[in-house]
Amino acid sequence: MLAVLRGAYWMRFWSLLQRGDRRETVRLASKALEIVALDIFGKNGWRSNNKLCF
């Protein structure tokens, strides 16, 4: 989960370096990736407060 959210973050950061309509396309793609990941993990019982290790 964390890797997907970090990937979406870096895609948004990368969008700042793009020109024109590509900037908006990359930004929207990163937002869609984040929404889909949160939806998939949420439907399968993953809560954001779950920890991977103790």
Structural domain includes residue 32: yes
Q: What is the pLDDT of residues 14-45, one digit of tens each?
A: 999 999 889 999 999 999 999 998 888 878 77
Q: Which residues contact residue 44 at a Cβ distance below 8 angstroms, ignoring those fewer than 6 apart?
A: none
End-to-end CA distance of the chain: 17
Instruction: Count the domains in the chain.
Output: 1
Which residues neighbour 53 within 8 Å (Cβ) at sequence distance 6 or greater? none
pTM for this entry: 0.70
In a domain, 22, yes or no: yes
Residue 17's domain spans which residues?
2-43
Cα–Cα dist 44/4, whole Å: 16
Which position has the higher pLDDT, 3 or 23? Answer: 23
Does residue 10 form part of some domain? Answer: yes
Question: Is there a contact between 29 and 11 (Cβ–Cβ < 8 Å)?
Answer: yes
